[in-house]
Amino acid sequence: MNEYRILAINPGSTSTKFAVYFNDECKLNRTLRHSIDELSSYKSILKQFDYRKGMIIDALMEEGFDVDSLKYIIGRGGLTYPLESGVYLVNNDMLKHASEGVYGQHASNLGPLIADFIANQIPGAKAFIADPVVTDELDEIARITGHPRFQKRSIFHALNQKATARLHAKKHDVPYERLNLIVAHLGGGISVGAHKQGRVVDVNNGLDGDGPFSPERSGGLPTGQIIDWCFDSRMSKADIRRMVVGEGGYVAYLRTNDAREVEEMASQGNAKAQLIQDAMAYQVAKAIGEMAVVLDGQIDGILLTGGVAYSDYITAYIERKVGFLGRVYVYPGEDELEALAKNALRVARHETQAKAYQPMIDRVDTY
């Protein structure tokens, strides 16, 4: 059997995670932490490029890895233009759009940039991304918002949702493309998607905080009240966005983004923490109900994943609410490095073909 050596890279807001895989076996998994003070010295996310890729290379050297043996370098996909689901070869257009942050600035934009740089230092190596957050498979009817000036954007935890759905399909020995699934990613942000025979035909925008509120995001706020607040508060655009994304949800109500801390507070009799925790689970359950309608009630499974899915209390609450719709399965965690490595391995083993980056600009014009 051929041994394929893979480097997976996942830049996050306060960390850079990377892992080395030899086929399915993880040989190294590291999380490089970045303090707020360290990152604040950089004027933009793009300016962090040298700092972050240098730390990865230094760590690989310290561990004694033969960097030249790594032929598949795969980074988390960032906020480029919308793309179909799949594995993509990094090219100049992708690098340009990730650098510009055409859909917004996020640490994941560094994923293809770092992957490309490292691959270019290794003879015969190639750089990829897989199932980026801008994966767009929405049905046309799902794009309609209620006003022609606005169109729904597909930005969600595509990598983990797709990986969890494929894992579930494999466990049940059924092709993912034959299943109707509802997948709820429960993390710092929350996204709930309707997977219809291999396509995510509807999903809330997990980046902007649309849908259920989460540990860090405000979710769908009352439209009239948010309009009044924007004009009356005299807050800047950046301040209001931070209120909705980053300082909403648990942070706004309880001054923490740690779901474990909130659950502990609730278990100790904190009535406010109990109510807010239940309200988040309640809103997730409602979103699952919406996606049941999208799938016409034909549901092969409801999958709960992400870091918050480690909470037995929250998953049990959601199951009580939605169990009548279909069986609930819990796949806690969000091992995005493993998901990236598996996608690279699928390409290496010719189980799928890497696609050329061809952004769907037609889905952006009316945004």
CATH code for the domain of 237:
3.30.420.40
Q: Are residues 172 and 111 in the same domain?
A: no
Per-residue model confidence (pLDDT) at position 246: 84
Look at residue 252 and tell me if it is in a domain. yes
Q: 44 and 70: one domain?
A: yes
- What average pLDDT does range 20-29 have in this prediction? 95
Q: Is residue 182 located within the same domain as residue 316?
A: yes
Q: Is residue 142 part of a domain?
A: no
Whether residue 284 sits in one domain with residue 259: yes
Contact 45, 112 (CB under 8 A): no
Residue with structure tokens 């037995």? 312
Residues 242, 239: Cα–Cα separation, whole Å: 5
Contact call for residues 188 and 218 (beta carbons, < 8 A): no
**Mean pLDDT along residues 4-10:** 96
Backbone angles phi, psi at 5, to 5 degrees: -105, 125
Could you give the number of structural domains in the chain?
A: 2
Can you point out the beta strands (E) in 220-337? 301-306, 328-332
| pLDDT at position 1 over 80 | no
pLDDT confidence tier of residue 363, bands split at 50, 70 and 90: low
How many CB atoms are located within 10 Å of the residue 120 CB? Answer: 13
- The residue-averaged pLDDT of 123-150 equals 95
Q: Are residues 290 and 320 in the same domain?
A: yes
Domain membership of residue 168 (yes or no) is yes
Prediction pTM value: 0.90
Q: Domain residues for 308?
A: 158-333
Do 252 and 166 lie in one domain? The reply is yes
